[in-house]
Amino acid sequence: MVNTGRRERRKLETRRKLDEVALRLFLKHGYDGVTVAQIAEEADISVATLFAHVPDGKDALIFDDGSERRAGIVAAVRDRDEPILAALHRFFAARGPYSTDIPPEHAPKRDLIVHTPALREYARRLWHSCEPDLTAALADESGLSPDDPAVRALARFVLEIPDLTGTAPDPAAALASVFALLESGWPPST
């Protein structure tokens, strides 16, 4: 077990408090109805301290730094007993708007993200930050070079899937249709 120092524990506690306050205010007043100053005031910290903990500002307040999603998508590719596309489909199906298993206490946060353009765009940037790691994992698993256009294209397209399907009337069905397309290719024209 890693023993974190007092300073690190206080930083984590401040970040947790900021996340909770921001989510509560966003759910009560809407994302656009809340300012960074209001969040800082409610959390009893200065705006400068808020930005020290969350340099990306308001958009990043209810997200982690993206490391969990990077590790998760790479693990889906590397630690699998099924084809890569099936593993990636399963990975996405267990997340966000696709999941039917989401704990009830997480649903309001998921819905806020799905219905707020600025938060969806921030989530998209977090997904895109996974591209180098996903490209490397796909290359390793396929035996192709990370510079191979097919590897790069697959990584980039897979990382666009949440943006393309997350707000569909039936996100899980949209997700399945995109993965079916990837698995079978574009149908020939008649």
Q: What is the pLDDT of residues 43-71, one digit of tens each?
A: 999 999 999 999 988 999 989 888 899 99
Is the pLDDT at 3 greater than 90? The verdict is no
Q: Among 18-22, 28-32, 100-104, 179-183, where is mean pLDDT lowest?
A: 100-104
Strands annotated E in the chain? none
**pLDDT at 5 (0 to 100):** 87
CA distances from 81 to 51, 94, 130, 140 (A): 42, 17, 22, 15
Terminal Cα-to-Cα distance of the chain (whole angstroms): 61
Is the pLDDT at 128 greater than 60? The verdict is yes
Residues 130, 73 contacting (CB under 8 angstroms): yes
Phi, psi of 47 (to 5 degrees): -60, -40
Helix (H, G, I), strand (E, B) or coil at 38: helix
**pLDDT at 64 (0 to 100):** 83
